Amino acid sequence: MSQTATTTVAADAKRSDSVGDDFARVSATFSGNVDNPFPIYRERRANMPVMVGDIVTEFGSVTFTTMQKPRPVYTLFRYHDVMSVLKDAKNFSSGFLMETGMASFMDGFALTAMDGDAHRQARGLLQPCFAPDVLKNWRLNRIQPVIREEFVAPLVSRGKAELVADMALMFPIRVIYDLMGFPNEPESLSKFASAALRILGGISPDPEAKKAAMVAAKELYDSTLKIVQARRAAGLDGDDLISRLIRSSFEGSSLTDHQITMFTRMLLPAAAETTTRTFSTLMTLLLERPELLERIRADRSLISKAIDESVRYEPVATFKVREVQNDSVFQGIAIPKGSLLSLCVASANRDDEVFEDGDTFNIDRTTRMAFGFGFGPHMCVGLFIAKAEIEVALNAMLDMMPDLRFDPDYPRPVIRGIQLRGPEAVHVVWTPQ
Ligand code: HEM
């Protein structure tokens, strides 16, 4: 990967090359062969809002639809069509992902591949662990100190950085494992983070990648189980996620160590690289607009809007797939039961019918629901954690790095990727402090 340029002593200590390599492999798996698909999406929304086949395949990227037994596939491009599918998990289900999604490496336990009561129950158990008061404490006592003191402060005297390698790759990993209750041992964290990325990379037709994902999922289970056992032995008053799950109960019984391990492991592949890419994309969009960055520096209440607009305009997770449970009709086209729908979130998020001048990045636009964190019953469970991390990181940079701008010695970053979007490297400079 190209983000190897400069690293701080602190970042060196925390970053493992294998994490960088595994991250680059995941990017390559989902990158496809078109950097800017948005003009094509605009054309499809206007002229072919329901396409026979999966446009992801046409773009040369891996997709769930090609890994399924042969069956009809349709791509939907318009906002209201995508929304009506995402909100109706009964008629448009996710269970088929048990065969080919991450669940297939994790003993069938991943929220994204669950339907109905099993999904509701699993979310019901997890949701209180992410309640607003919990998040408030986590933000103050865990997220903020980790990001400000371990990642941003050590950079400020240097006056230059490559944001993906020096910050964005590792801070979501360091934060999420801390919130879960894992001890801060840099080598182990890198190992776990690599394993989580290999699980994600297993969503590929390559049998070697699948084998690596199976091994990684087993390793992650074994390591997580030991940590769960250690947290239980340490008593029940911790405010980390594992301690909270130990204290929680379901239908009158408490969760076993095995169940807690399954819950925790399932979160890890979802929690880090999404935040890495979202932060790097946001920084690219703001650095491309220096006046906007200065406006935000002066008024930090705009950060939240900037994140929301960035996730609308350039979502990291650009497609969702669902299985049709009953014969359906979209835009007059009959879609038979058993078909797969490839939902183009990146297109829906720019539909002018809902977002005026949808191809323009505008943090002042009227707030409307976009799908960068999903929508409906499967909406991202870690949304507020991810947003808190990104807010804290941007705030810290604006506090400690005056006149932050692109490094003129490097090419401008390009946000690319068909299924997982983000820049490979973001080189910046500022006046050293
Ligand atoms: C900026 C960072 C993130 C982005 C862009 C993101 C995006 C998404 C999206 C689009 C979905 C919907 C999946 C679907 O409909 O099939 C989702 C679900 C999920 N996310 Fe996130 N996510 C982020 C961070 C996190 C974090 C930090 C965690 C964990 C703490 C997390 C855990 C999950 C889980 C467990 C699900 C599955 C929910 C379900 O199926 O009920 N995510 N995420």
Output the CA 112–ligand 1 centroid distance in Å: 8
Output the CA 367–ligand 1 centroid distance in Å: 21
DSSP H helical ranges for 288-382: 290-298, 303-313, 345-348
Q: What is the pLDDT of residue 319?
A: 97
Q: Is the pLDDT of residue 12 over 70?
A: no
DSSP H helical ranges for 77-206: 79-86, 97-100, 116-126, 132-138, 144-145, 163, 171-180, 186-201
Coil, strand or helix at 44: helix
Atom 16 (ligand 1): residue with closest C-alpha? 112
pLDDT 10s digits, 29-80: 999 999 999 999 999 999 999 999 999 999 999 888 877 678 999 999 999 9
Residue 3 forms part of a structural domain = no
Q: Is the CB–ligand 1 distance for residue 281 below 6 Å?
A: no
pLDDT 10s digits, 214-263: 999 999 999 999 999 999 998 878 999 999 999 987 777 788 999 999 99
Confidence of residue 17 (pLDDT cuts 50, 70, 90): low
* Residue 68 CB contacts under 8 Å (≥ 6 apart), including other chains: 96, 99, 100, 340
Q: Which atom of ligand 1 is nearest to the CA of 389?
A: 27
Residue 1 forms part of a structural domain = no
CATH at residue 315? 1.10.630.10
Compute the average pLDDT of residues 399-405.
97
CA dist., res. 52 & res. 116, Å (int): 28
Residue 71 forms part of a structural domain = yes
Output the CA 174–ligand 1 centroid distance in Å: 18
Q: What is the pLDDT of residue 413?
A: 98
Residue appearing with tokens 């002018």 = 352
Q: Is the CB–ligand 1 distance for residue 374 below 6 Å?
A: yes
Q: Is the CB–ligand 1 distance for residue 3 below 6 Å?
A: no
Which of 142, 380, 387, 421 to probe ligand 1 with, by most ligand atoms within 8 A of CB?
A: 380
Mean predicted lDDT score pLDDT of the chain: 92
* Sheet of 405-406, strands arranged across: 160-162, 427-429, 405-406
Give the whole-number percent of the chain exceeding pLDDT 90.
Answer: 81
Confidence of residue 1 (pLDDT cuts 50, 70, 90): very low
**Count of domains in the chain?**
1
Q: Write out the residue range of the structural domain in which residue 283 sits.
A: 9-429
CA dist., res. 155 & res. 424, Å (int): 20
Coil, strand or helix at 27: helix
Atom 3 (ligand 1): residue with closest C-alpha? 274
Residue 143 forms part of a structural domain = yes
Residue 197 forms part of a structural domain = yes
Atom 20 (ligand 1): residue with closest C-alpha? 380
| Cα torsion angle, 174, 317, 399, 413, sign | positive
DSSP for 225-256, please give it. HHHHHHHHHT-S---SHHHHHHH-EETTEEPP
CA 37 to chain centre: 20
Q: What is the pLDDT of residue 107?
A: 86
Q: Is the CB–ligand 1 distance for residue 123 below 6 Å?
A: yes
Output the CA 6–ligand 1 centroid distance in Å: 30
Q: How big is the chain, counted in residues? A: 433
